[in-house]
A and B are shown apart, each in its own frame.
Chain A
């Protein structure tokens, strides 16, 4: 089903994710106000905003984990509330609380969770899709650590396990929440290299939620700046000082350094 759908879709231009006049209230607090923008196939899109700007709310709305108070969220043209083709989406959370305690699952077991396609009575006794799981671990460079407990890994390694878990689903859209929070600079660069490669070679659309302006400037092809509502949507490089200041509420200026792009 997935493959044929993929082939029917023309490349570029069609929306993977659409917010249409979306509002969300927590009780009486307005978290998201009349948000409209879309993420198109092939983009590396970012949702940028300060803390408390509603970007995590938007992410949860996008994944159908919460439902808008008003308006519509569409995943591949279908209402996120009724969306069932979860195989098309790979979600990488900022962190998994359980992985920090003494959660016993190995990297392999966590990635194998990504192959879930519905109840399987024999799931305990067999591991399907072994080669796919090993491929995904290889892609993120963790083949050697496949039998390690995820709870004994570094933050960066855990993040890559979660990415592999998303990739094993062979998704069309990868959704990442603060993907490199708490990761050192070298690992961050490695992580973004990988994202760019996945975007180019496997034409996976990427949507990341972040408050890191530097990463957005370097990595994203489009950005939606959110402060409850959309302050700016377009290429990060066309963003004006005024819009950035409006976003963060303080005067801001972006200096682009060519050296950041030269080494690619």
Chain B
């Protein structure tokens, strides 16, 4: 057995990373298709605010973060649904508000410390068994949600009005998606950190959209790319002694570049085979 698998903490890191790699793109597909990629970033900053509050008050930081992201996700959706603010403005307002509050709290708590650093940049190697169980539980919920409500989610992402006239409860589906995204971000913080968690939600999806045909196929491929990125990234990080979060995201970017190359080559090939079609 390779050395890496003999350490409990590495096994936990790899399993946790793979689970996050699975659930982030599973939600990401529907966010990217609805052009809501930025919601991940906004909620990540809300999670950071939650962590700051948790560290300041010495409560369970991921728990506080989970609460604040859920509330923020609901607030963002309500602002959109009631058309009080356009979608992108609502996201920006929430992002900056949360970041400002986080910065203020951190300054009150006399600056950065090791814990906060871990949440910002990820600390997959310090994942506790509790963290792992939380991530595993969430992964089950997300996979069940996406498979149970696949039709509703895909219709809502295609055209909300069309979905409504089919009888889909669009607002409810959107809110559930936003809240789960908040939860996924909170629990993914350990792996890639607040600053990079959005990347894991968006980049595997963008790569799969380049090459897959069909919504189901795209979702499955995005999840596969997410899992592989996490696995390869964490293994590289272990052997090269570099930050795991960064390595995971860079591997995902690698997949994106390969996907771009693939679709470019396919288009070229089609043109040389059927030059009249161009």
Contact = CB atoms under 8 A, between A and B. Distances in A.
Contact of A98 (B150, B157, B166): B157
A86 B150 contact: no
Nearest to B169: A119
B155 A113 contact: yes
B152 A119 contact: yes
B151 A102 contact: no
B149 interface: yes
Interface stretch (A104-112, A201-209, A250-258): A104-112
A190 to B, nearest CB: 22
Contacts of A195: none
B28 to A, nearest CB: 13
A113 B151 contact: yes
A84 B208 CA distance: 36
Interface residues of A, number: 38
A142 interface: no
A89 interface: yes
Interface in B116-174: 146-152, 154-155, 157-159, 161-162, 164-168
A233 B155 CA distance: 35
Contact of B158 (A89, A105, A123): A105
Contacts of A120: 151
Given A86-B166, A119-B149, A124-B150, A93 B161 contact: yes
Interface string A56-67: 000010011100
Contacts of B148: 119, 121, 123-124
Interface in B209-225: 209-210, 212-218
A169 B162 CA distance: 13
B71 interface: no
A44 to B, nearest CB: 20
Secondary structure class of chain A's binding surface, majority of residues: loop
Given A84-B167, A113-B155, A116-B167, A124 B216 contact: yes
A209 B168 CA distance: 24
A149 B158 contact: no
B33 interface: yes
A105 B159 contact: no
Nearest to A98: B158
Contacts of B151: 113, 116, 119-120, 123
A121 B161 contact: no
Contact of B147 (A96, A98, A118, A124): A124
A124 B155 contact: no
Contacts of B216: 109, 124
Contact of B209 (A102, A113, A114, A117): A102
A96 B150 CA distance: 19
A103 interface: yes
Give chain B's interface residue range (CB within 8 Å of chain A): 20 to 34
Nearest to A105: B215
Nearest to B165: A91
Nearest to A87: B167
A64 B166 CA distance: 11
Contacts of A124: 146-148, 150, 216
B176 to A, nearest CB: 12
A1 to B, nearest CB: 13
A147 B217 CA distance: 12
A109 B161 contact: no
B162 A96 contact: yes
B260 to A, nearest CB: 12
A97 interface: yes
Nearest to B160: A65
B213 A103 contact: no
Interface in A72-88: 84, 86-87
Nearest to A177: B161
Given A86-B167, A124-B150, A113 B213 contact: no
B223 to A, nearest CB: 12
Nearest to B161: A65
B166 A114 contact: yes
A113 B164 CA distance: 12
A106 B208 CA distance: 15
Contacts of A109: 154, 214-216
Contacts of A119: 148-149, 151-152
B124 to A, nearest CB: 29
Contacts of A63: 161, 164-165
Interface of A: 60, 63-65, 84, 86-87, 89, 91, 93, 96-99, 102-106, 109-110, 113-114, 116-125, 147-149, 165, 169
Given A64-B164, A109-B154, 14 more contacts: A64-B165, A65-B164, A65-B165, A86-B167, A104-B215, A104-B218, A106-B213, A110-B158, A116-B167, A122-B147, A123-B151, A124-B148, A147-B213, A148-B213
6 contacts: A96-B158, A104-B217, A105-B215, A119-B148, A120-B151, A123-B149
The 3 closest A-B pairs by CB, nearest first: A124-B150, A86-B167, A104-B218
